[in-house]
Amino acid sequence: MRTLLKAVCPVAALLSLALVSARTVQAEDAPAAINPADFMKAMAEAGKPGAEHARLEPLVGNWDYTAKFWMDPNQPPVETQGTIERKWILGNRFLEEKIQGSSFDGQSKFEGIGLVGYDNGLKKYTSNFACSMGTGVCKGVGTANEKGDTFTFKTESYCPVFQKTMHGREVVRIESNDKIVFESYMTMGDQEVKMMEITTPRK
């Protein structure tokens, strides 16, 4: 019995020491109490739409589109058509876009939903897009040029063909109040390949 106690006691002591140390670390790392008024003030400031959000205003409205997809750079692109509706949601904090059109075969229906905004904390534009051709979401983080008529996003999405996450670049150019051009590129090895171009005249 004493042999067992001699064996158990050091282990128990070490466990107790570990628990005390863990509690001390947790206490030191524990966040300070947050004043509700300060919390609401910080949230209101972080969630306030500003000039960066206003730069997205030209994208609002109803549009027709023609999309070109390059499956093979040595062959003519596949073309599809459809419509895009964009509107402000959540108090002008995000642009919601709904896309309806035809798929690559020209017969199947295509649907997509996007969300574009500006993150005051990250100080970056953000984009998220999901469509009826997949179960993943294409995510983008980007910036606007000084003039505010061109937005460039670095993107990542899962590609079912290559079966891995692919990185790319998307460019949105506001050419006029009635025309917007969207370009999508994918990085393959050390090369950037143009995959898609969408021209959208306003309805």
Structure tokens at 39: 């919390």
Q: Is the pLDDT of residue 13 over 80?
A: no
At residue 3 the predicted structure's pLDDT band, cuts being 50, 70 and 90, is very low
| Residue 199: alpha-carbon gap to chain centroid | 22
Cα dihedral 172→146→87→117 (10° resolution): 90
Residue in 122, 165, 113 with CA at minimum distance from that of residue 143? 122
Please give the span between the terminal C-alpha atoms of the chain, in angstroms, as a whole number.
89
pLDDT of residue 85: 98
Q: Is the pLDDT of residue 141 over 80?
A: yes
Dig out the tokens for 96 from the structure.
């919601």
Candidates 196, 139, 127; CA nearest to 166 is 139
Chain mean position to CA 90: 17
What band does 30 get if pLDDT is binned at 50, 70 and 90? Answer: low
Which contiguous run of DSSP H or E holds residue 46?
A: helix 36-46
**Four-residue CA torsion sign, 147, 148, 149, 155:** positive
201 SS3 class: strand
* Beta strands at 124-131 and 61-69: parallel, antiparallel or unpaired: unpaired
Under the banding of pLDDT at 50, 70 and 90, the label for residue 31 is low
Write the pLDDT tens digit of every residue in 46-99. Answer: 899 999 999 999 999 999 999 999 988 788 999 999 999 999 999 999 999 999
| Residues near 30 by beta carbon (within 8 Å), at least 6 away in sequence | none
Q: Quick one: pLDDT band at residue 19, thresholds 50, 70, 90?
A: very low
Q: How confident is the model at residue 43 (pLDDT cuts 50, 70, 90)?
A: confident
Asked if the model's pLDDT at residue 42 lies above 50, the reply is: yes
What region, left, alpha or beta, does residue 97 occupy, with left being phi > 0 and alpha being psi -120 to 50 degrees?
A: beta
Model confidence pLDDT, tens digit, residues 147-197: 999 999 999 999 888 899 999 999 999 999 999 999 999 998 889 999 999
pTM across the whole model: 0.80
Q: How much is the CA Rg of the chain, to the nearest whole Å?
A: 26
* Per-residue pLDDT reduced to its tens digit, 98-118: 999 998 877 789 999 999 999
Residue with tokens 């910080």: 42
